[in-house]
Every structure is written in C-alpha cells, then in structure tokens.
C-alpha cells in the first residue's frame, strides 16, 4: 500500500457511484415500502448531492444548529427522500434507518414533504414549489446581514438550493431570483435539477424558457453541467464557491429516475413507487447487491465520515467565537435579551399616545411605535413590498436600507414582490438572529398567502404589517379594498390577526406580535384616521386578552357592541346615541379573535355578557357567528366596495353609528 493510499479517509476510499447509489437505493426502497412518494428526483439528483456533501457543503452532522453551517434547502420538496437519505447517511441525530422505513407514516420524522422541526437538518418546510427557493433568498440576505454585523469570523457561509423545473416555473421564482440578483447574493448557489420532466410529462409541453439566460438576465452567474458527471459537478461547485460576486445557478442536466431500466427519464418515476420488478432491474443495472435498507459497511462508513468532516472547522469556529457574546446569542431566541427595553419602549409609546389628542390612522401610530422600537431592538428587520411611504414600515430616523455589498442596514426594499417578501421573511426568521417584518396592503395578502400559511405551519415569528385594511382606504376602489381578507387570514391556524383600534392598541399589538415567538402575526392597520378610544395609560396590555370591555354602561346591559380596528369609533358613537334613548350598550374592543378564544370561558362570558350582541367590522360576516351567535346583529359588508372618498363609502355601505343603532333597535324589538 502506498503512503497516499494509507492516508485516504473512509470517505475517499469508496467510489462516487457507490455513494450515490446508496441514496438511490434508499429512495426507491422507502417509496416502495410507503407505497407512495417520489423516487425519480432523488435518483436523478443523487450524483449532484453526493458531490455537494462530499466536497462543498460545510456542516457537522453532530450539531445541526451550528450557526455558521452552510444551509441546504430542498425546494423541490417532493424529492424529500433525497434529504432524508442524506441525513441518515451522514448521521444526523434521530434520523435512523427506522425513520426511513417509516417514510410518510404517522408520527415519522420522514413526512411526505420535509417539515421544519420534524428532524434536525430540515432547514425549512417545502412542498409548495418555489417557496424553498424564496426562503433561501431570505436566508442568504440574513447571512450577509449577520456577516456585516458580526464579522466573517462568525458568519460566512453558503446557502444551497436544490430546485426543479416546477420551482422555476412558479411565479415566485421570478420574484426571488430577481431580488437575489439585485442584491448580489453571491453566497447563494442554486442547483437546478434540469431533467426536463414534470408530472404531465416533458416540460416542453408547457415551458420553453432558457433558464441559464433567464438567471443571467436577473444578474446571476449561470452555467450548465452534466448532473451525472462527478468531476464536472465538482468543478462547477468549486467555481461557484470561489466567485461570490453574484448568485449562482448551476443547471444540472439529469435523468429522472436514473438507474431504473425502463422508467428512467420518464414522468412515471416522478410520483409513484417504481414497483418490485423495476426495483429489481435497477439493482442489477446499478450493480447494487444489498437488500432494502441495508448498505455495504464501507459505503455507510464513508458517508458517516462525510457527516463528520466539518467537525474540525466547527471546533475551530467554536474556539474563535467562544468569547463572542453576539455569536453565543445566535443560538438563543433573537431579542430575548432586549425584553425589558422593548417593554419600556411600548410603555412609553402607550403613555404618550393616550394623552395625544391628534387623530391619526393606525398605520401612522404603528410607524410611531417603530420609531421607539427599532433603536432598542436591532434584531427587528423592516421592509416592504414597495409602498413604504404608504404603510409606515420605515421610520424617519432609525432605518437604513440594505443594498448590494452593503448589509449593515435594517430595512429591505423588497420591491413589488409580495410573495417573495413573505417567503424571504420566512427564510430570515428560520435563519435565526432576526425578527423580520414586512408591509403591503391587506388586500395583497392574496399575493403572499402561500408563504403566510407556511409561516404559520413552521411557527415562525414573522410580522406582516398590512395597511389600508378596509373600504376606509377610499378612492382606490374595490380592487384595493379588502373585504374577505380578515376572515380568510383568521382561518389559517396559528396566525394571529391583530386589528388595533387606535394608538394605544397599536402599541399593544406590536408588543403582542413580538412576544409571540411561535406565531406569525398580522397587524391590520387603517389608512384613515381613527378615533382615539384609549385615553388613559394602562400598564396592562389589554389587547393581549384578545377582547376587553372598553366601556360598561351605567345600568344593566341591553346590548353588547363588539368592534375591531377603526370601527371601534363607530361602536362608541352608537353607544352614546343609544344612551340618549335609554338603551344600555357595552362596547367591547376585539383586536384579536385568536387571543380571545384562548382566554378562560369565565373571562369570555364576562366580556361578551348575556345581552344580545352586535358586531361592527368593515368586512364580511364570516367568523363573527362565533361571537354574536345565530341571532346576533352584524354591521359590515357582504359585497365588494366601491371607488369613492371613505366617508361616502361608510355612509353608502351603512357602516355608521346610525345603522348600528337601527340594528340594535331591530334586535331589541324581537
Ligand atoms: C405550488 C405547487 N403546485 C403544484 C404542486 C404539485 N407538484 C408536485 S411536484 C410537481 C411537478 C414538479 O416537477 P419538477 O420540479 O420538474 O419535478 P421532477 O418531476 O423533476 O421531480 C407538481 C406540479 C406543488 N407541490 N406545489
């Protein structure tokens, strides 16, 4: 044995083909055992993934949360077995062979699509195509922002994405690659599984884009490689890592279902088990002799060595950052150390707002809250999908935008890209170290709903600042006036919808959004000025209970008026008018149905009372039955709005104190 041979590590001693075939075998056998799944993509991308893990990806399987690890995002989430096989092979904690055998079964770590939190090493939940790619753009932004704050000794890593034709066909991909190119995110490397196949068959049925040219046009470096030639893949990755002037697309020409004797290259390998016969033939073709879920020992050892190859770099990172508090804080919840300062900023805002007699919109109150918050909470990263001046997301004094080559700032101009903004915020939150918030008009949540849903599914603290929250936006008309949106957002599990009524409530709602580390929050804010209803400074965050009695009448309640946001002023006015008729009306403010639902039944009963109820909200009735009951009254909308000045619209659609009084009269007569 030569000296060089003696020094060969277990990882290097095993042929590339054997290591890649281990992935193929695990993928086809797990899908076969589950009787469902997608074997074709993992089999096609096995060569690319093997080279990536052996040569490029910086990670230490024993510490999947190492902050300076490279991120790997499987945007083509249907190919989940590729990721699960790699996590098992490299020895990630908890990903044993039993989990692969239980692929897609109840309670397994190996869900149908990768789910964040199910197993270490899954960086984000993917499945809706294109989302992972846009998450990765957020992670690559976060990487640069941490690099700018903490220095390259602490954070300096790559973000890799495996994306398929489907990811690149989705509209969100355009927003994401355009933003990444604009910001020059040179640490982002996308490995495109260029197999020319999707579910319907050849992608030529539906698309003829030249992806390399498309990415180049968006400011990326882009190249093509043979995705089954390990040397070519290796050279491409080395090239991309060496040049971080721009993000990289490496279009890897692959064969879906590589190795399958009759199905390779066909869409039949995409989404169903290969079948026993085909699997037998694949084993022969790949010269893979091991039975299902068994691996030749040298192959497994070689893979395990790959899992440990980053350990040295990891320990030297630990040594050089041991005394660095900022690096240590990366492992903990962002902002934890700032809680007292945040509480103080909120308290100051509340007491100033309570005595401020100016009428303002809640979007402006929100901007004023941010003026106090940003300086004490540097983790808070603002942004907006254009419309910055309209939604008040950027403060006058505390914000500096980030830009290509300049990431020390704390504000992101996402451009007119709502969907990518929301998905990138998911990536920023998942990355750790930051609390992202981003703004647009409430009506345009339709454009980012898929990503909002994933914020909720992944339980990420992403804060959506959504202004122009009703017909109260006026002249822009029904295209811009949200009607069903509050109900639609309240329908997503784990989303906190917060609709504050005035300045004090807006400050309280910001505090709530920051405190809820396991939820995305929606701040629904008005364009129009609102009535100041909370005129006394209270130390208690009344909005945190979801609903509270703003005003109790002198006598026993005849009716309870419940309102949210700007319409609370209408409820107060109606209660005053009713009082002149001798009707005792209580006024309840309900900034958050979700928080109220979580209160003890006794509190809810006390707030809602036993008198008939009328709700007032400039939106649809759906979701109000829960609070007003079958016989309750509703002053709201049941159709699209119209283009006119806001006061005219409220009059026209009957969202007035007069109509509320009428509704109460009708209810009490029954
Ligand atoms: C937003 C979204 N639309 C549709 C789907 C359903 N779907 C899953 S995979 C797939 C085809 C993807 O094709 P490609 O990326 O080429 O994957 P490959 O066939 O190469 O594995 C589709 C339409 C999805 N997961 N997400």
Q: Is 78 in the pocket of ligand 1 (CB under 6 A)?
A: yes
Q: Is 206 in the pocket of ligand 1 (CB under 6 A)?
A: no
Residue located via tokens 């690099």: 147
Query: Which residues contact residue 306 at a Cβ distance below 8 angstroms, ignoring those fewer than 6 apart?
Result: 11, 53, 54, 89, 90
In Å, how far from its chain's centre is CA 548?
A: 30
Pocket test for ligand 1, best of 36, 40, 80, 129 (most atoms within 8 A of CB): 129
The tens digit of pLDDT for each residue in 524-555 reads 999 999 999 999 978 999 999 999 999 999 99
Q: Is 256 in the pocket of ligand 1 (CB under 6 A)?
A: yes
Q: Is 37 in the pocket of ligand 1 (CB under 6 A)?
A: no
The tens digit of pLDDT for each residue in 417-462 reads 999 999 999 999 999 999 999 999 999 999 999 999 999 999 999 9
Closest C-alpha to 375, from 353, 357, 400: 400
Q: What sign has the CA pseudo-torsion 530, 531, 533, 536?
A: positive
Pocket test for ligand 1, best of 43, 78, 113, 271 (most atoms within 8 A of CB): 78
pLDDT at 58: 98
Q: Which residue's alpha carbon is at the smallest distance from atom 9 of ligand 1? A: 78
Q: How many C-beta atoms lie closer than 10 Å to residue 658's C-beta?
A: 13
> How much distance in Å is there from the Cα of 232 to the middle of ligand 1?
27
pLDDT greater than 70 at residue 7:
no
Q: Is 199 in the pocket of ligand 1 (CB under 6 A)?
A: yes
Question: CA-to-CA distance for 126 and 128, rounded, in angstroms?
Answer: 6
> How much distance in Å is there from the Cα of 445 to the middle of ligand 1?
23
pLDDT greater than 70 at residue 330:
yes
Q: Is 413 in the pocket of ligand 1 (CB under 6 A)?
A: no
Question: CA-to-CA distance for 173 and 571, rounded, in angstroms?
Answer: 45
Q: Strand 380-384 vs strand 435-441: parallel, antiparallel, or unpaired?
A: parallel
The tens digit of pLDDT for each residue in 49-86 reads 999 999 999 999 999 999 999 999 999 999 999 999 99
Q: Contact 124/135 with Cβ under 8 angstroms?
A: yes
Residue located via tokens 């093509």: 224
Q: CA dihedral defined by 424, 428, 430, 432, rounded to 10 degrees?
A: 180
What is the per-residue DSSP string for 342-403?
HHHHHHHHHHHHHT-----BHHHHHHHHHHHHHHH-TTEEEEESS-HHHHT-S-SSS--B-B
Q: Contact 417/385 with Cβ under 8 angstroms?
A: yes
The SS3 call for residue 226 is strand
> How much distance in Å is there from the Cα of 270 to the middle of ligand 1?
9
Q: What sign has the CA pseudo-torsion 91, 98, 102, 11?
A: positive
pLDDT greater than 90 at residue 332:
no
Helix axes 339-354, 503-515, angle to 10 degrees: 170
pLDDT band, very low/low/confident/very high, at 8 (cuts 50, 70, 90): low
Q: Is 197 in the pocket of ligand 1 (CB under 6 A)?
A: yes
pLDDT band, very low/low/confident/very high, at 331 (cuts 50, 70, 90): low
Task: Please state, rounded to an integer, the average pLDDT across all residues of the chain.
Answer: 96
Question: CA-to-CA distance for 576 and 570, rounded, in angstroms?
Answer: 10
> How much distance in Å is there from the Cα of 439 to the middle of ligand 1?
29
Mean pLDDT of 41-55: 98
Pocket test for ligand 1, best of 31, 41, 166, 258 (most atoms within 8 A of CB): 166
pLDDT at 625: 96
pLDDT band, very low/low/confident/very high, at 336 (cuts 50, 70, 90): low
pLDDT greater than 90 at residue 569:
yes
pLDDT at 649: 98
pLDDT at 397: 87
pLDDT at 338: 81
> How much distance in Å is there from the Cα of 195 to the middle of ligand 1?
12
Question: CA-to-CA distance for 640 and 332, rounded, in angstroms?
Answer: 46
Question: CA-to-CA distance for 637 and 322, rounded, in angstroms?
Answer: 59
pLDDT at 339: 87
Q: Strand 548-551 vs strand 585-589: parallel, antiparallel, or unpaired?
A: antiparallel
Q: Contact 27/39 with Cβ under 8 angstroms?
A: yes
Question: CA-to-CA distance for 272 and 211, rounded, in angstroms?
Answer: 27
Active site members: 418
Q: How many CA atoms lie within 13 A of 280 on its CB side?
A: 3
Q: Is 40 in the pocket of ligand 1 (CB under 6 A)?
A: yes
pLDDT greater than 90 at residue 165:
yes
pLDDT at 337: 65
Residue located via tokens 């064969």: 255
pLDDT greater than 70 at residue 9:
no
pLDDT greater than 50 at residue 271:
yes
End-to-end Cα separation, the chain, in angstroms: 98
254: phi then psi, degrees, rounded to nearest 5: -130, 170
Q: How many CA atoms lie within 13 A of 368 on its CB side?
A: 22
Q: Strand 496-498 vs strand 159-164: parallel, antiparallel, or unpaired?
A: unpaired
pLDDT at 264: 97
pLDDT greater than 80 at residue 372:
yes
pLDDT band, very low/low/confident/very high, at 318 (cuts 50, 70, 90): very high
Q: Which residue's alpha carbon is at the smallest distance from atom 21 of ligand 1? A: 41
Mean pLDDT of 133-153: 97
User: What is the b/e burial string over 195-227, where b = at least 16 CB atoms within 10 angstroms of the residue's CB?
Assistant: bbbbeeeebeeeeeeebbebbbebbbbbbbbeb
Q: Contact 91/307 with Cβ under 8 angstroms?
A: yes
Closest C-alpha to 531, from 356, 655, 389: 356
pLDDT at 5: 42
């Amino acid at each position: 044995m030569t000296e060089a041979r003696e020094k060969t590590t277990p990882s290097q001693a095993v042929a590339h083909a054997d290591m890649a075939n281990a992935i193929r075998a695990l993928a086809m056998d797990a899908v076969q055992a589950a009787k469902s799944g997608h074997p074709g993509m993992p089999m096609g991308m096995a060569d690319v993934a093997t080279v990536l893990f052996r040569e490029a990806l910086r990670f230490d399987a024993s510490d999947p949360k190492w902050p300076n690890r490279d991120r790997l995002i499987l945007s083509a989430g249907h190919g989940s077995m590729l990721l699960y096989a790699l996590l098992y092979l490299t020895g990630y904690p908890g990903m044993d062979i039993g989990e692969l055998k239980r692929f897609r079964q109840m309670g397994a770590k190996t869900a149908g699509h990768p789910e964040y939190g199910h197993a270490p090493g899954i960086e984000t939940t993917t499945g809706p195509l294109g989302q992972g790619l846009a998450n990765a753009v957020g992670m690559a932004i976060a990487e640069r922002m941490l690099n700018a704050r903490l220095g390259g000794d602490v954070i300096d890593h790559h973000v890799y994405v495996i994306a398929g034709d489907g990811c690149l066909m989705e509209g969100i991909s355009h927003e994401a690659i355009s933003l990444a190119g604009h910001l020059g995110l040179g640490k982002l490397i996308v490995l495109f599984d260029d197999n020319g196949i999707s579910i319907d068959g050849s992608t030529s049925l539906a698309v003829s884009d030249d992806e390399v040219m498309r990415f180049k046009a968006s400011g990326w470096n882009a190249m093509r490689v043979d995705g089954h030639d390990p040397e070519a893949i290796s050279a491409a990755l080395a090239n991309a890592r060496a040049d971080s002037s721009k993000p990289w697309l490496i279009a890897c020409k692959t064969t879906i279902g590589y190795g399958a004797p009759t199905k390779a290259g066909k869409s039949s390998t995409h989404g169903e088990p290969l079948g026993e016969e085909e699997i037998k033939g694949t084993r022969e073709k790949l010269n893979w002799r091991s039975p299902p879920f068994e691996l030749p020992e040298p192959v497994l050892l070689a893979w395990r060595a790959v899992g440990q190859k980053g350990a040295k770099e990891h320990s030297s990172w630990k040594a050089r950052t041991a005394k660095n508090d900022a690096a240590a804080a990366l492992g903990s919840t962002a902002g934890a150390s700032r809680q007292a300062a945040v509480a103080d900023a909120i308290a100051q805002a509340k007491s100033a707002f309570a005595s401020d007699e100016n009428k303002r919109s809640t979007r402006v109150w929100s901007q004023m809250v941010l003026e106090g918050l940003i300086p004490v909470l540097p983790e808070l990263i603002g942004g907006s999908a254009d419309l910055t001046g309209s939604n008040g997301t950027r403060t006058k004094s505390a914000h500096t935008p980030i830009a290509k080559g300049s990431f020390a700032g704390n504000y992101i101009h996402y451009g007119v890209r709502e969907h990518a903004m929301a998905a990138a915020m998911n990536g920023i939150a998942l990355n750790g170290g930051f609390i992202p918030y981003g703004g647009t008009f409430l009506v345009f949540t339709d454009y980012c709903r898929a990503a909002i849903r994933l914020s909720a599914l992944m339980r990420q603290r992403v804060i959506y600042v959504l202004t122009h929250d009703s017909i109260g936006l006026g002249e822009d008309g029904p295209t811009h006036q949200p009607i069903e949106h509050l109900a639609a957002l309240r329908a997503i599990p784990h989303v906190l919808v917060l609709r504050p009524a005035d300045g004090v409530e807006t400050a309280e709602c910001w505090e709530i959004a920051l405190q809820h580390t396991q939820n995305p929050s929606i701040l629904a804010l008005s364009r129009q000025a609102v009535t100041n209803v909370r005129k006394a400074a209270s130390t208690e965050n009344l909005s945190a209970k979801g609903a509270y009695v703003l005003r109790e009448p002198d006598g026993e309640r005849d009716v309870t008026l419940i309102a949210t946001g700007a319409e609370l002023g209408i409820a107060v006015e109606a209660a005053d008018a009713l009082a002149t008729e001798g009707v005792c009306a209580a006024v309840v403010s309900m900034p958050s149905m979700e928080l109220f639902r979580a209160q003890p039944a006794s509190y809810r009963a006390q707030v809602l009372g036993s008198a008939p109820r009328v709700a007032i909200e400039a939106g649809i009735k759906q979701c109000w039955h829960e609070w007003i009951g079958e016989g309750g009254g509703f002053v709201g909308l049941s159709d699209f709005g119209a283009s006119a000045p806001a006061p005219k619209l409220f009059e026209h659609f009957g969202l007035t104190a007069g109509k509320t009084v009428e509704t109460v009269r009708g209810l009490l007569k029954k």
